[in-house]
Structure 1
């Protein structure tokens, strides 16, 4: 069984109330911006790669993830909810490099980070270390994340900002002609599609002529389970979307020793499936009518409890085979978590240009999740499993459930969502 996850976040930075200084800068292709990127700050290069660097921000990232989820889910929509909290926090933290004063404080506090106990350097080194670990070529996980800036030919940027986003966030930069809206949109969408291996297409529906910068973060994940699902056992079954709606879905099945348990404090059943390569997926099936109660109980402490619960029982597990995508107008959600100034005319993003002439105008988030039966090449040992004559009551995910994907080494929540209807693409 393989899980494929792709994500892209975009923040567009537009001209604010103050006119930009567009003088004395002639960009020739990508050269001006990329020259800055070649200048490495030695003090920033892979800072000791101590696990504590990313672990220092891990708790805040998890709380931010659940806070963001609750803001998205509270709309009451019956649509699927799916996003990468890590992608969003990475992009906003990168943007905070260009912010000052209360604009910066709102971004950092909105991310759940304690500005009293955590320095700016610790925050950015934490994300730097996290990106480095996620992109580890030696890991069994196929995971790739990156950041890109698309910058207007008219935007005069401070070299220190470009150097910092390169050194901390490994970001690339490209010059973009936003006055040619269609060409700018195509340049950005084509880049995102290429970097996500064709999983995220047509991210931007439009680009504003007055845009000066578009910031993109992408993350792609391919995971293979330690214990595979036999495609021969997949059969069509009923999924109960709500009291009045049912759909038919291919339901995968696995019998044997499964990490699954009934939570004693929250009305739900938890299933944990491990990936080869230090990552775990949690499927949370609320009791009938208890979805809202379970959602309200989501927290970093809850996740920690589930991570350290090591209960296995022999059962028959049934999980839908599906592929979904979800798009979110992230600006509305970020406003709710307190990031207000950065989207207003009083935004202070003066660390980008040296002037208070910019504001963020748009934040778009698109993610995709696909689950199928493709297993690992080294799955022979786990595929040969003695089945008991009697299988206890099965665990069947045939109604809306929550999905969490957790990176064990980085202690980071990579993806999360609510699957209301697995047939909704």
Structure 2
């Protein structure tokens, strides 16, 4: 069967948002009837010779470690992707590795044979070493931990299927979507494109607390299944910046071009270090709860070198490099947006069949040959002072009288948000221009 004659069975859209400030909940969106299947998904599928594998570590530890490798691999591919370059150089890049990996892991629930192996390998899992059931159990535990607030953060993470109302997707897939990944299911008439688009965008707007109000601007009437995955996090600085110290400073988007951006400032005791091997300086700033932001400032012209050197081992080495010091901190106040074509990126990472007529997604539809028509990731990252004048003023540290170090992010930098109790990388960003809209 030629793929040109096939209906696009699945459109996969993914959204994510990280905020330092609170957004008021949206109360005006329409609620829809949720037709959910509520059975237990039998996690019995193992790769040959897997039955005794993956038991030395808990499933969520396996997922966290592997997802870290996936995050940096994805970052390197996305940063070199043509979509991330414009006439003036490189654009901002922001994404949630956890959001992306969990979405493709959900697709693995319905994948079979070579398609399943490609998805797991593309996510940096090794099917010959890790049981598939451990992967799903690990994602389930991690999602539950993040959503339950055990990390001290406000996190909302989940997924939703919009299904053509004439279809009857496989119960096992829907059960796994619901019971493992906390997914919602809505029946739609995709031929009514305007109403369907309103439902989808309304759902995303509610789940991201109004920050992403328009995920899609069109719906293909021949679509049969559409999957949305979302991630929302509200995090406040443990030591807020005082807004009265936020003033315009020059930011060098390249060695020859400077723009004015609002630059936040505070002095205090922070973990700070210099990585000469990777030509960068690192600052670690804690959020309230069990999360930290790592700001990584490459030496001038060394952004590509730093990105190519990122690894789990590099992050582990920073734990020995970082020392608590008196630091004068300058960070741009900004809101950065990211949109990625996941199809191109994941294709280059080895997930090939999923986007072609060779895809075996019989676990979703009961029929072997369907393909994913598209995959988009939209994310927003807000970096601001987050704090009233009073709380910000009271957050200043008593610092030693010695000369403080200076961390001034006035040129392209990276930031990484890590949930410390699990070690999960929640967000990764490369900020080349804080003023980019």
Once the two structures are overlaid, the 10-residue window that deviates more, 402-411 or 107-116, is: 402-411
SS at match of 2:110: coil
Aligned partner of 2:419 among 407, 413, 416: 407
Aligned partner of 2:69 among 53, 57, 63: 63
Aligned partner of 2:299 among 267, 275, 287: 287
Aligned residue pairs, count: 396
| Offset of residue 176 of structure 1 | 1.2
Could you tell me how far apart the structure 2 residues matched to 1:197 and 1:389 are?
Answer: 44
Change (3 A) 1:385 1:325: same
Change (3 A) 1:107 1:239: same
SS at match of 1:124: helix
| Offset of residue 322 of structure 1 | 0.6
Could you tell me how far apart the structure 2 residues matched to 1:376 and 1:368 are?
Answer: 23
Q: Which residue in 1 is equivalent to 2:180? A: 168
Which digits, 9 at most, give the CA deviation of each residue in 1:192-227, with x for residues without a partner? 001100011211122111111111110111111222
1:423 maps to 2:435: yes
Q: Which residue in 2 is equivalent to 1:322? A: 334
Q: Which residue in 2 is equivalent to 1:99? A: 111
Counterparts in 2 of 1:261-410, with a 5 A limit? Answer: 261-307=273-319, 309-375=321-387, 383-389=395-401, 391-410=403-422
Unaligned ranges ≥5, structure 2: 10-31, 45-55
SS at match of 1:423: coil
Preserved contact between residue 15 and residue 357 of structure 1 (Cα < 8 Å): no
Q: Which residue in 2 is equivalent to 1:25? A: none
TM-score, scaled relative to structure 2: 0.85
Unaligned ranges ≥5, structure 1: 1-13, 21-28, 45-49
SS at match of 2:318: helix
| Offset of residue 392 of structure 1 | 2.9
| Offset of residue 154 of structure 1 | 2.1
TM-score, scaled relative to structure 1: 0.87
Counterparts in 2 of 1:134-213, with a 5 A limit? Answer: 134-213=146-225
1:237 maps to 2:236: no
Preserved contact between residue 412 and residue 431 of structure 2 (Cα < 8 Å): yes
| Offset of residue 137 of structure 1 | 3.4
Which digits, 9 at most, give the CA deviation of each residue in 1:262-286, with x for residues without a partner? 0132100001111121111111000
| Offset of residue 382 of structure 1 | 6.3
Which digits, 9 at most, give the CA deviation of each residue in 1:359-387, with x for residues without a partner? 11110110001111113899689624224
Could you tell me how far apart the structure 2 residues matched to 1:237 and 1:267 are?
Answer: 24
Q: What is the root-mean-square deviation in Å for CA atoms of aligned residues?
A: 2.5
Which digits, 9 at most, give the CA deviation of each residue in 1:313-359, with x for residues without a partner? 11211101111111111111110001110110111000112111421
